[in-house]
Amino acid sequence: MNKTDLTRLLEEVARGTMGVNRAAQHLFNLPYEDLEYACVDHHRSLRKGFPEVIYGEGKTAGQIQGIMEKIISREAVVMATRIDPEKAAQITAAIPGTTYHTDARILIWQNQKPAMTGRGTILIISAGTSDIPVAKEAALTAQLMGNRVDTLFDVGVAGIHRLLDHRERIQSATVLIVVAGMEGALPSVVAGMVARPVIAVPTSIGYGTSLGGLTALFSMLNSCCSNVAAVNIDNGFGAGYMAACINRA
Amino acid sequence: MNKTDLTRLLEEVARGTMGVNRAAQHLFNLPYEDLEYACVDHHRSLRKGFPEVIYGEGKTAGQIQGIMEKIISREAVVMATRIDPEKAAQITAAIPGTTYHTDARILIWQNQKPAMTGRGTILIISAGTSDIPVAKEAALTAQLMGNRVDTLFDVGVAGIHRLLDHRERIQSATVLIVVAGMEGALPSVVAGMVARPVIAVPTSIGYGTSLGGLTALFSMLNSCCSNVAAVNIDNGFGAGYMAACINRA
Amino acid sequence: MNKTDLTRLLEEVARGTMGVNRAAQHLFNLPYEDLEYACVDHHRSLRKGFPEVIYGEGKTAGQIQGIMEKIISREAVVMATRIDPEKAAQITAAIPGTTYHTDARILIWQNQKPAMTGRGTILIISAGTSDIPVAKEAALTAQLMGNRVDTLFDVGVAGIHRLLDHRERIQSATVLIVVAGMEGALPSVVAGMVARPVIAVPTSIGYGTSLGGLTALFSMLNSCCSNVAAVNIDNGFGAGYMAACINRA
Amino acid sequence: MNKTDLTRLLEEVARGTMGVNRAAQHLFNLPYEDLEYACVDHHRSLRKGFPEVIYGEGKTAGQIQGIMEKIISREAVVMATRIDPEKAAQITAAIPGTTYHTDARILIWQNQKPAMTGRGTILIISAGTSDIPVAKEAALTAQLMGNRVDTLFDVGVAGIHRLLDHRERIQSATVLIVVAGMEGALPSVVAGMVARPVIAVPTSIGYGTSLGGLTALFSMLNSCCSNVAAVNIDNGFGAGYMAACINRA
Amino acid sequence: MNKTDLTRLLEEVARGTMGVNRAAQHLFNLPYEDLEYACVDHHRSLRKGFPEVIYGEGKTAGQIQGIMEKIISREAVVMATRIDPEKAAQITAAIPGTTYHTDARILIWQNQKPAMTGRGTILIISAGTSDIPVAKEAALTAQLMGNRVDTLFDVGVAGIHRLLDHRERIQSATVLIVVAGMEGALPSVVAGMVARPVIAVPTSIGYGTSLGGLTALFSMLNSCCSNVAAVNIDNGFGAGYMAACINRA
Amino acid sequence: MNKTDLTRLLEEVARGTMGVNRAAQHLFNLPYEDLEYACVDHHRSLRKGFPEVIYGEGKTAGQIQGIMEKIISREAVVMATRIDPEKAAQITAAIPGTTYHTDARILIWQNQKPAMTGRGTILIISAGTSDIPVAKEAALTAQLMGNRVDTLFDVGVAGIHRLLDHRERIQSATVLIVVAGMEGALPSVVAGMVARPVIAVPTSIGYGTSLGGLTALFSMLNSCCSNVAAVNIDNGFGAGYMAACINRA
Amino acid sequence: MNKTDLTRLLEEVARGTMGVNRAAQHLFNLPYEDLEYACVDHHRSLRKGFPEVIYGEGKTAGQIQGIMEKIISREAVVMATRIDPEKAAQITAAIPGTTYHTDARILIWQNQKPAMTGRGTILIISAGTSDIPVAKEAALTAQLMGNRVDTLFDVGVAGIHRLLDHRERIQSATVLIVVAGMEGALPSVVAGMVARPVIAVPTSIGYGTSLGGLTALFSMLNSCCSNVAAVNIDNGFGAGYMAACINRA
Amino acid sequence: MNKTDLTRLLEEVARGTMGVNRAAQHLFNLPYEDLEYACVDHHRSLRKGFPEVIYGEGKTAGQIQGIMEKIISREAVVMATRIDPEKAAQITAAIPGTTYHTDARILIWQNQKPAMTGRGTILIISAGTSDIPVAKEAALTAQLMGNRVDTLFDVGVAGIHRLLDHRERIQSATVLIVVAGMEGALPSVVAGMVARPVIAVPTSIGYGTSLGGLTALFSMLNSCCSNVAAVNIDNGFGAGYMAACINRA
> Chain-wide mean pLDDT for chain A?
88
CA distances from H226 to A2, G43, H73, H193 (A): 53, 16, 43, 12
- CB < 8 Å to G48, chain H: 192, 194-195, 227
- Tens digits of residue pLDDT in B116-130: 889 999 999 999 999
CA of residue A176 relative to chain centroid, distance: 13
Best residue of G103, G129, G157 to probe chain E, by most E CBs closer than 10 Å: G129
G93 pLDDT above the threshold of 90: yes
CA distance B216 to D218: 9
F13 pLDDT above the threshold of 70: no
- Mean pLDDT for F191-195 is 91
Per CB distance under 8 Å, which residues of H are interface residues toward G? Answer: 47-50, 53, 192-197, 199, 217, 221-222, 226-232, 235, 237-239, 241-242, 245-246, 248
- Tens digits of residue pLDDT in C186-196: 999 999 999 99
3-class DSSP assignment, residue C62: helix
A72 pLDDT above the threshold of 80: yes
As a whole-number percent, the residues of chain H with pLDDT over 70 amount to: 88
User: Please, are residues F98 and F91 in contact by the beta-carbon 8 Å criterion?
Assistant: yes
Amino acid identity, residue C14? A
Q: What is the largest CA-CA distance in chain H?
A: 67
User: Please, are residues C191 and C225 in contact by the beta-carbon 8 Å criterion?
Assistant: yes
Please tell me the predicted confidence (pLDDT) of residue C7: 61
- Tens digits of residue pLDDT in C105-117: 999 999 888 888 8
State which residue of chain B sits closest to E128, comparing Cα positions. Answer: B38
Q: Any idea which of D23-37, D95-109, H201-215 has the lowest mean pLDDT?
A: D23-37
Please tell me the predicted confidence (pLDDT) of residue B1: 47
pLDDT band at A27 (very low <50, low <70, confident <90, very high): low
- Tens digits of residue pLDDT in E155-202: 888 878 788 888 889 999 999 999 999 989 999 999 999 999 999 999
CA distance E99 to E68: 13
What are the residues facing A229 on neighbouring strands? A199
- CB < 8 Å to G192, chain F: 157-160
User: Between the CA atoms of B3, B5, B10 and B12, what dihedral angle is there, to the nearest 10 degrees?
Assistant: 160
User: Please, are residues C221 and E209 in contact by the beta-carbon 8 Å criterion?
Assistant: yes
Query: Do β-strands F228-230 and B148-152 pair in parallel, antiparallel, or remain unpaired?
Result: unpaired
What are the residues facing G248 on neighbouring strands? G118
State which residue of chain H sits closest to F151, comparing Cα positions. Answer: H36
Q: Any idea which of B135-139, D222-226, E243-247 has the lowest mean pLDDT?
A: D222-226
- CB < 8 Å to D219, chain B: 183-185, 215, 219
Interchain CB distance below 8 Å, C185 and E189: yes
Rounded to 10 deg, the angle between the H85-94 and H61-72 helix axes is 40
What are the residues facing G77 on neighbouring strands? G110
D224 pLDDT above the threshold of 90: no
How distant is the Cα of B145 from the closest Cα of chain C, in angstroms?
12
CATH fold, domain F121-247, is: Rossmann fold (3.40.50)
Phi-psi region of G56 (alpha: psi -120 to 50; beta: other; left: phi over 0): alpha
Please tell me the predicted confidence (pLDDT) of residue H30: 43
- Tens digits of residue pLDDT in H52-103: 899 999 899 999 999 999 999 888 899 999 999 999 999 999 999 999 999 9
CA distance F202 to A53: 51
B175 pLDDT above the threshold of 90: yes
pLDDT band at F37 (very low <50, low <70, confident <90, very high): confident
Please tell me the predicted confidence (pLDDT) of residue G29: 43
Cβ-count burial of H57 within 10 angstroms (0-12 exposed, 13-18 middle, 19+ buried)?
middle
- Mean pLDDT for H118-147 is 95
DSSP at E115: P
Interchain CB distance below 8 Å, B238 and C222: no
- C35 versus B81: the higher-pLDDT residue is B81
User: Between the CA atoms of G207, G209, G212 and G217, what dihedral angle is there, to the nearest 10 degrees?
Assistant: -130
3-class DSSP assignment, residue H40: strand
**Closest by CA position to A147, among listed A243, A82, A224, A56:** A243
CA distance E209 to E182: 8
B7 pLDDT above the threshold of 80: no
How distant is the Cα of F212 from the closest Cα of chain C, in angstroms?
8
Query: Do β-strands E32-34 and B32-34 pair in parallel, antiparallel, or remain unpaired?
Result: unpaired
Domain locations along chain D: 31-110, 121-247
Please tell me the predicted confidence (pLDDT) of residue C1: 46
Query: Do β-strands A198-202 and A228-230 pair in parallel, antiparallel, or remain unpaired?
Result: parallel
Please tell me the predicted confidence (pLDDT) of residue E241: 97
DSSP at H53: P
Interchain CB distance below 8 Å, A209 and H188: no
CA distances from F117 to E86, F5, F249 (A): 51, 20, 7
DSSP string of A131-181, one letter each residue:
GHHHHHHHHHHHHHTT-EEEEE-S--GGGHHHHHTTHHHHHH-SEEEEEE-
- Tens digits of residue pLDDT in E13-30: 667 777 665 655 555 444
Please tell me the predicted confidence (pLDDT) of residue F1: 47
CA distance B105 to B87: 10
CA distance A222 to B25: 64
Please tell me the predicted confidence (pLDDT) of residue E26: 54
Q: Where are the alpha helices (DSSP H) in chain H?
A: 3-15, 20-28, 44-48, 61-72, 85-94, 132-144, 160-164, 167-172, 186-191, 214-221, 236-247
Please tell me the predicted confidence (pLDDT) of residue A29: 43
DSSP at H115: P
Point out the residue among F193, F196, F241 whose CB comes nearest to the CB of E245.
F196
Please tell me the predicted confidence (pLDDT) of residue F224: 87
CA distance C193 to C170: 8
Query: Do β-strands A32-34 and A39-41 pair in parallel, antiparallel, or remain unpaired?
Result: antiparallel
Query: Looking at this predicted complex, what is its ipTM?
Result: 0.87
- A154 versus G164: the higher-pLDDT residue is A154
Chains in touch with B (3+ beta-carbon pairs under 8 Å) read A, C, D, E
Rounded to 10 deg, the angle between the H236-247 and H132-144 helix axes is 40
Q: Residue F25 CB: number of other CB atoms within 10 A?
A: 12
Please tell me the predicted confidence (pLDDT) of residue B29: 43
Contacts of A175 by beta carbon, 8 Å cutoff, 6+ apart: A122, A123, A196, A197, A198, A199, A243, A246, A247
CA distances from G162 to E27, E40, G193 (A): 12, 9, 14
pLDDT band at F29 (very low <50, low <70, confident <90, very high): very low
∠ at Cα E48 (E43, E49), nearest 5°?
Answer: 100
- Tens digits of residue pLDDT in F46-87: 778 888 899 999 899 999 999 999 999 888 899 999 999 999
CA distance G30 to G20: 15
Please tell me the predicted confidence (pLDDT) of residue D89: 97
CA distances from E58 to A153, B165, G131, G208 (A): 37, 57, 8, 15
- A24 versus H166: the higher-pLDDT residue is H166
How distant is the Cα of D202 from the closest Cα of chain H, in angstroms?
9
Please tell me the predicted confidence (pLDDT) of residue G88: 97
Contacts of G118 by beta carbon, 8 Å cutoff, 6+ apart: G142, G145, G146, G147, G148, G174, G244, G247, G248, G249
Please tell me the predicted confidence (pLDDT) of residue F212: 95
CA distance C105 to C95: 17
Instruction: Count Cα atoms within 13 angstroms, Cβ side, for C92.
Output: 16
CA distance F45 to F63: 21
Strands (E), chain B: 32-34, 39-41, 54-55, 77-81, 98-101, 106-110, 121-126, 148-152, 175-180, 198-202, 228-230
State which residue of chain H sits closest to D64, comparing Cα positions. Answer: H129
Point out the residue among G184, G215, G222 whose CB comes nearest to the CB of F206.
G222
Contacts of E72 by beta carbon, 8 Å cutoff, 6+ apart: E78, E95, E109
Q: Any idea which of A157-161, G163-167, G177-181, H105-109 has the lowest mean pLDDT?
A: A157-161
Please tell me the predicted confidence (pLDDT) of residue B238: 97
Please tell me the predicted confidence (pLDDT) of residue A142: 97
- Tens digits of residue pLDDT in F197-221: 999 999 999 999 999 999 999 999 9
- CB < 8 Å to E217, chain F: 221
Please tell me the predicted confidence (pLDDT) of residue A209: 95
Please tell me the predicted confidence (pLDDT) of residue D181: 94
Per CB distance under 8 Å, which residues of H are interface residues toward F? Answer: 28-29, 32, 36-39, 41, 43-44, 52, 55, 57-59, 63, 67, 202, 204, 212-214, 217, 232-235
CA distance A231 to A245: 14
CA distance F230 to F235: 10
Q: Any idea which of B134-148, E106-120, G15-29, G46-60 has the lowest mean pLDDT?
A: G15-29
As a whole-number percent, the residues of chain C with pLDDT over 70 amount to: 87
